Amino acid sequence: MNFHEKRVLVTGGGSGIGLGVAIALAQEGCRVAIGGRNAEKLLQAAAEYRGSPGLFTRACDVSVRDDVAGLIDWFHKEIGPIDIVVHAAGINIVRRKMAELDPDDFDRVIAINCTGFYNVLHAALPGMRERRDGLIFNISSVAGKRALPLAGPAYAASKFAATALGTAVGLEERPNGIRITNIYPGEVNTPLLDQRPVPVPAERKAAMVHPADIAACVIAVARLPAHVTVPELVITPSYQEYY
């Protein structure tokens, strides 16, 4: 792929993996818009990138279907047809064990991590089908392939569901020229760590995967020719077992 002037939408782009990928793609020459729930946070995040053009921003709650439809409509009008979507929006909660998991928290995690991805797919795919071209990255989690106790049942359930969406829709859309890659990061040094029940020490964070590492994976996959698909990609810190 020639990245020059490619149009990219990143959800969850206000921090963490989303922002890291957004900045990396902008540095490659893409025109990138970041979406997230907090407009002020998005503007602060966009200021981290000083290239030209800068990052576009648009507030959007991916769990609200009308918000997502508005985001996609705004993108088409302001930037143009979407070439790449990076879906990085996601949350976890502090009280995550089943014995203490509040039903409202469970619903919120599912709404953002799973239904949010569906909403983005539902809104973005028609334009890609019409152009018979598109690349979608779903930032899932190793907890979306292995139900790890550390992640908690709500997060694991939401990521398993998002994984299934990415896989099933990817198979359906291949004939339409649309490729979907599920990325499964292990422990990543992002603000999501603030929702851990036990604070994470600085030395542990330093040894984790970093957003720039995920961005490098996205760029490597995006560089592949259109006749090649990478359905799944697992990336973990060297200390984290994956089996």
Task: Report, as residue numbers or ranges, the catalytic residues.
Answer: 140, 155, 159
Residues 190, 17 contacting (CB under 8 angstroms): yes
Give the closest residue to 139 by CA, choosing from 175, 111, 165, 101: 165
CA distance 113 to 94: 16
Helical axes 16-27 vs 211-222, angle rounded to 10°: 50
Q: The tokens of 14 are what?
A: 């206000």
* Measured CA angle at 240 (ends 235, 243), to 5 deg: 80
How far is 42 from 40, CA to CA, in rounded Å?
5
Q: Residue 127: left if φ>0, alpha if ψ -120 to 50, beta else—which one? A: alpha
- Which two tokens mark 179? 């490729």
Handedness of CA 207, 212, 216, 218 (dihedral sign): positive
